[in-house]
Structure 1
Amino acid sequence: MGDWKIGNDRRRRSTDQLRNFKEANDGQVAWDTEAPADFTYVYHPDRMLVRSADVGSFDSAVAALDKGVLEDTPRVDAELLDGELLRYVLPARVNGESVPELLDLLEEAGLQRGAASPDHWVHVAPGGGGSTLCPAIEPQETGLKEPCPPEAPRGKGDEVSVVVVDTGWNPPSGTDPRTPWLHDVDGDDELNGPDLRPYAGHGTFIAGVVRCTAPETKVFVEGFCIGGVGGGGVLESDMVVQLEEALDKDPRVINLSAGCRTRLDLPSIAFETFYRTRLHKLDCVLVAAAGNDSSPAPFWPAAFDWCVGVGSLDRDGRVSDYSNFGVSADVYALGRNHVNAFPDGTFVCHETPDKGDVRVFSTGMARWSGTSFSAPVVAGLIAREISERGCSAADARDAVLARSAYESDPGVGPIQTLRQPYF
Structure 2
Amino acid sequence: MQHPDRKHQLLRLVGVLTLIVFSITSASASLDPEQHERIIIGFQDGLVQAMDTPDLSVSDFQVLTELTELNAVVVSASDPDRFMEEVSQCPGVKFVERDIHVYALETSPYVPDDNRYAEQWGPEMIGAEYAWEIEQGGSSVIIAIIDTGVDYTHPDLGNYIAGGYDWVNNDDDPRDDHGHGTHCAGIAAATINNTLGIAGISQSAIMAEKVLDSDGSGTSSITAEAVRHAADNGADVISMSLGAAESTHIMEEACWYAWEKGCILVAASGNDGATRVSYPAAYDTVIAVGSVGMTGSRSTFSNYGTNLELVAPGESILSTTPGNAYGQKSGTSMACPHVSGVAALLLSHYPGMSSLEVRDRLTETADDLGSPGKDTQYGYGLVNAFAALGGEEATPLTIESDAVVVVRGEEIILTITGEGYREYWLSVDDAGVAGIEMYPQVVPEQQDVLPGIPSGGINGSAGFDETECRVLMPGSGAARVRYATGFSTAAQPFTFTVTDPEDPPFSDAITVSVTPGTVTITAGDRDRFFFGEEIPLNGTNTDNRSTWLYMTGPGLDAGGAGLSGPGMVQVPVMEDGDWSYV
- TM bucket by the smaller chain? 0.5 to 0.7
SS in 1 for 2:267: strand
Q: Spell out the pairing of 1:171-250 with structure 2 (5 A cutoff).
A: 171-173=152-154, 175=155, 179=156, 182-186=157-161, 188=173, 190=175, 200-211=178-189, 212=199, 214-225=201-212, 228=214, 231-250=215-234
SS in 2 for 1:82: helix
Equivalent of 2:285 in 289, 306, 319:
306
Q: Against the structure 1 CA distance between its residues 50 and 162, is the aligned structure 2 distance closer, same or farther, given a 3 Å change threshold?
A: same
SS in 1 for 2:143: strand
2:166 match: none
Q: Give a deviation string over 1:162-195, Cα, whole Å, max 9, x none.
A: 111111222342x2xxx4xx33224645366xxx
1:48 match: 39
Q: Against the structure 1 CA distance between its residues 234 and 250, is the aligned structure 2 distance closer, same or farther, given a 3 Å change threshold?
A: same
Q: Give a deviation string over 1:69-109, Cα, whole Å, max 9, x none.
A: x3x1755544425352232332x34xxxxx3x447865998
CA–CA separation in structure 1 for the residues paired with 2:263 and 2:61:
36
Q: Give a deviation string over 1:9-36, Cα, whole Å, max 9, x none.
A: xxxxxxxxxxxxxxxxxx777xxxxxxx
1:367 match: 328
Aligned-pair distance for 1:235? 1.4
Q: Against the structure 1 CA distance between its residues 422 and 340, is the aligned structure 2 distance closer, same or farther, given a 3 Å change threshold?
A: farther
Q: Give a deviation string over 1:373-399, Cα, whole Å, max 9, x none.
A: 111111111111111122123211211
Aligned-pair distance for 1:273? 2.5
CA–CA separation in structure 2 for the residues paired with 1:28 and 1:422:
51
1:23 match: none
Equivalent of 1:395 in 343, 353, 357:
357
User: Is the radius of gyration larger for structure 1 or structure 2?
Assistant: 2
Contact 1:253 1:286 in 2 (8 A): yes
Letter in 2 for 1:400: L
Provide TM-score, normalisation by structure 1: 0.65
Aligned-pair distance for 1:248? 4.3
Aligned-pair distance for 1:120? 0.4
CA–CA separation in structure 2 for the residues paired with 1:80 and 1:273:
13
Aligned-pair distance for 1:334? 1.2
Q: Give a deviation string over 1:181-224, Cα, whole Å, max 9, x none.
A: x33224645366xxxxxxx3211211111124543311122223
SS in 1 for 2:115: coil
1:261 match: 245
2:381 match: 417
CA–CA separation in structure 1 for the residues paired with 2:87 and 2:75:
17
Q: Give a deviation string over 1:355-380, Cα, whole Å, max 9, x none.
A: xxxxxxxx832111100011111111
SS in 2 for 1:237: helix
2:366 is equivalent to residue 404 of structure 1: yes
Equivalent of 1:164 in 145, 149, 153:
145
SS in 2 for 1:86: strand
- After TM superposition, the structure 1 stretch with the greater mean CA deviation from structure 2, 311-320 or 294-303, is 294-303
Q: Against the structure 1 CA distance between its residues 185 and 142, is the aligned structure 2 distance closer, same or farther, given a 3 Å change threshold?
A: farther
Gaps of 5+ in 2: 1-31, 163-172, 190-198, 388-582
Aligned-pair distance for 1:252? 0.8
CA–CA separation in structure 2 for the residues paired with 1:166 and 1:189:
10
Contact 1:49 1:118 in 2 (8 A): yes
Equivalent of 1:84 in 71, 87, 111:
71
Q: Give a deviation string over 1:214-242, Cα, whole Å, max 9, x none.
A: 4331112222346x2xx111111122222
Query: Greater share of strand residues, 1 or 2?
Result: 2
Q: Which has the higher contact order (CA 8 A, sep 6+)?
A: 1
Contact 2:310 2:382 in 1 (8 A): yes
Gaps of 5+ in 1: 1-26, 30-43, 94-98, 126-134, 193-199, 345-362
State percent identity of aligned pairs: 21
Query: Greater share of helix residues, 1 or 2?
Result: 1
